[in-house]
Amino acid sequence: MDNRTSKPSATEQVYEALRGRISSGEWRPGERLPSESELAASFGVNRLTVRMALQKLAALGVTETRTGSGTYVLDFDLDGCLRAVSGFALRGLERKHLTEFRNHMEIECARLACERAAPEELDELARLAAEHRRAWLDDSAEHELWCRRVAGADLAFHEQVVRMSHNSLYISAFAIAREPLYAYMLESVGKWSREMLAEFRLAASRDTHLCICEAIRARDFAACQSNYAAMVTSYTRPNRPGAEALA
């Protein structure tokens, strides 16, 4: 058995070197990189090798080559990149995995939000909770549109909770799971027919979004955790969602 590790190609070595310089801040967003000829001379490789390394950076959204001008560093949008690939990477994800993700990662983010959220972030969370409530109570839209609005408002609220954790890895993890989570929320909201909605009117005191928001503002993680757990559980019910715990 051959246990020798293969040596990275010249293109891969140049790519890693360029990526390292950009990551370190040596080349900042908006700055132009040296020309292909200058980079080739610097690394002791040919221009084709440099071009292939630059193409890899461009494919990731790190750089942009402008005809007649050169290659420039972009302000990399990690969330946008993660969202773009999440639909492919997480296709066919089981509902129980999404439930486990929410039960652990989101509730931990809520705990951190209780400790770290700034006043303006709490105000934004309150605005999103109110937006979700408005979407839920709006019976003027046709049902499919109503479902999309409610699911979108739901996702925005929970994304804000994650952002308030101020943990970049949790924020990135949510960005990866964002599209499957939206589909998961949309499917759950779709269980509510017009007839069911007519029978049940969501009281503010039982609106888990408002309860979670107030618990985080009060720095009361126990109350926040209880509401979050009830909300996540309501998604797992096979038929009618729980009226006592809506998300």
Structure confidence at residue 64 (pLDDT): 87
Q: Give Cβ neighbours of residue 155 (< 8 Å, ≥ 6 apart).
A: 178, 181, 182, 185
pLDDT in tens, 77-132: 655 555 555 555 445 556 788 888 888 899 999 999 999 999 999 999 999 999 99
For residue 30, the enclosing domain spans 10-73
Query: Which CATH number covers residue 211?
Result: 1.20.120.530
Residue 243 counted as domain residue: no
Same domain, 113 and 222: yes
CA 16, CA 7: separation in Å to the nearest integer?
A: 13
pLDDT grade for 163, boundaries at 50, 70 and 90: very high
Residue 5 resides in a domain? no
Average confidence (pLDDT) over 164-176: 90
DSSP per position, 75-142: ---HHHHHHHHHHHHTTT--HHHHHHHIIIIIHHHHHHHHHH--HHHHHHHHHHHHHHHHHHH--SS-
Q: Examine the domain organization and report whether 134 and 68 are in the same domain.
A: no
User: What is the domain-level CATH number for residue 47?
Assistant: 1.10.10.10
Beta bridge partners of 63: 73
Rounded CA gap, 63 and 68, in Å?
Answer: 15
Mean pLDDT within 123-145:
91
Please indicate, yes or no, if residue 206 is contained in any of the structural domains.
yes
Q: Is the pLDDT of residue 241 over 50?
A: no
For the chain, the domain total comes to 2
Distance CA 196, CA 191 (A): 9
Query: Same domain for 49 and 100?
Result: no
Residue 69 and residue 85 share a domain: no
84 with 41, same domain?
no
Tell me: do 147 and 37 sit in the same domain.
no
| Same structural domain, 59 and 138 | no
Are 92 and 202 within one domain? yes
195 assigned to some structural domain:
yes
Closest CA to 113 of 180, 168, 166, 175: 166
How sure is the predictor about 61, in pLDDT bands with cuts at 50, 70 and 90?
confident
User: What is the 3-state secondary structure of 1-26?
Assistant: CCCCCCCCCHHHHHHHHHHHHHHHCC
The answer to whether residue 67 is domain-embedded is yes
Could you report the per-residue pLDDT of 2-59, keeping only the tens digit for each?
555 567 789 999 999 998 888 888 888 889 999 999 999 999 999 999 999 999 888 8
**51 falls within a domain:** yes
